[in-house]
Amino acid sequence: MPDPTPPHTPPAGTAQRPLHRWRGGLPQPQLDVVAEEVPVAMRYNGAAFSVMMATPCDLEDFALGFSLSEGLITAPAQLLAVEVRPQLEGIELQMTVAADAPGAALDPDEERLLPGRGGCGLCGTRQLEDVLRPLPPIRERRTYAPAALQRALAELAQHQPMNAASGAIHAAAWADASGRIGWVREDVGRHNALDKLIGALHHNEHAIDGGLLVISSRASYEMVSKAVRAGASVLAAVSAPTALAIDLARSAGLCLIGFARESGFNVYTHPERLQADEPSR
């Protein structure tokens, strides 16, 4: 649980709001730290794609990771520019993509796509056939020691300042072969957190397939899809996976782990990726 006494300056991605805290049958006026959630409009070469409810931090990482995982660009170099435009109602991410990028084919005159909630992984999808797009098979099928995953899980909370303050933020983390956490991104939406992490790794030219992905949420099929498209070999979720997520992970070659705790975890697909010896390829 977050500290009931909020800091004077809340961490980025959070805000202070007044409340009455009831203790011992009496209300006590206080300030609480809560997660920020704002509409973020995703626009490509002037065309609207979707509106996501997101935490307004690491938006350049969000733009790149979302564009890659949603198939609007096929390589980071196709995202030519990102402009963050604060608006009265929220934030616009104006993205310029290369002419050969899929996002360049959006029709600016078409009334597009449904708004995306913080937990939405189907934002911008109207056709059923778009939901289950084929996933590329994972090429780098690395193995890791279980101790590496346990170390990453033990360290995850230390890298979640927004959640420590508010108790309402998801995290996505990348850990190396020893389990040391190198990159973390937080967001009120679990999909957004993973997109931001993917974007951050690409911005820093860091190989995703050289480590483990750890998420603080459940493993829905959208999270599996994003992890596979990013090139991850292992995705570990603190909560449960869905049946479809398991099926997709098995077919794509992703090691999917659920109910991940420092004390133990469930391996649903490709258990050969976790071995008790030194990590290898």
pLDDT of residue 125: 45
Question: What's the start-to-end Cα distance of the chain, in Å?
Answer: 39
Rounded average pLDDT over 57-63: 98
pLDDT of residue 103: 94
Report the C-alpha gap between 206 and 104 in whole angstroms: 26
Of residues 212 and 5, more confidently modeled: 212
pLDDT at residue 182 greater than cutoff 80: yes
pLDDT of residue 174: 97
Q: Which residue matches tokens 């750890």?
A: 214
The single residue of 57, 120, 123, 255 carrying the catalytic annotation is 120
Rounded average pLDDT over 103-126: 59
Q: State yes or no: is 57 an active-site residue.
A: no
Report the C-alpha gap between 67 and 34 in whole angstroms: 28
Q: Check if the beta carbon of residue 115 is closer than 8 Å to that of residue 48.
A: no
At 275, the pLDDT band (50, 70, 90 cuts) reads confident
Report the C-alpha gap between 55 and 31 in whole angstroms: 20
Q: What proportion of the chain, given as a percentage, has pLDDT over 90?
A: 75
Q: Which residue matches tokens 């009455």?
A: 20
Query: Which one-letter DSSP state was computed for residue 223?
Result: H
pLDDT at residue 1 greater than cutoff 60: no
pLDDT at residue 234 greater than cutoff 90: yes
pTM above 0.85, yes or no: yes
